[in-house]
Amino acid sequence: MKFLMSLFKMTCEDVYPLISEEMDRPLSFGARMRLKMHLAICHLCEAYRKQLETLRRLAQSLGEEDSKVNEEAVLNPDIKEKIQKAIKEKV
């Protein structure tokens, strides 16, 4: 009973670190339950959880080899020339 009561008494402040924590390591059974119960009734924490999930997916796409972000960034032409010269000498 005490455990059941503790499920409902969680405030956002208690719960919200668990949302990020769950992204990094598995939560204990109790913590997982508390989080689940709270997210079911608190739309703000649920919105926050969605935001962190969006952030994670965005970061993954940002890190891909073919990411279209930052397309205006180009390697310094002097360095390109230096590399090209080294390649010519070697080939």
Partner 1 sequence: MNQESLEPEKWVENYADMLYRYCLIRVKDPDIAEELVQSTFFAALKSQHTFAGKSTEKTWLFGILKHKTMDYFRGARKNINLDISDSDTDSINFDSTGHMVPTPSNWNLNPENAAENNELAQVLKDCLNGLSEKFHRLFVLKEIEGLSSEEICKEFNVKPTNLWVMLHRARNQLKLCIESNWFSKE
Q: Does the protein bind partner 1 through residue 59 (CB under 8 A)? A: yes
Nearest distance from residue 58's CB to partner 1, in Å? 5
Q: Does the protein bind partner 1 through residue 58 (CB under 8 A)? A: yes
Burial (Cβ within 10 Å: 0-12, 13-18, ≥19) of residue 49: buried
Q: Does the protein bind partner 1 through residue 9 (CB under 8 A)? A: no
Joined tokens for residue 63: 């890190």
Q: Return d(Cα 29, Cα 86) in angstroms, integer.
A: 59
Joined tokens for residue 56: 């994670």
Question: How many secondary structure helices (H) and strands (E) does the chain include?
Answer: 5, 0
Q: Does the protein bind partner 1 through residue 83 (CB under 8 A)? A: yes
Q: Can you tell me which of 1, 6, 16, 40 binds partner 1, judged by CB under 8 A? A: 16
Where does this chain bind partner 1 (CB under 8 A)?
Answer: 11-13, 16-17, 20-21, 23-25, 44-45, 47-48, 50-63, 65-71, 73-76, 79-80, 82-84, 86-88, 90-91
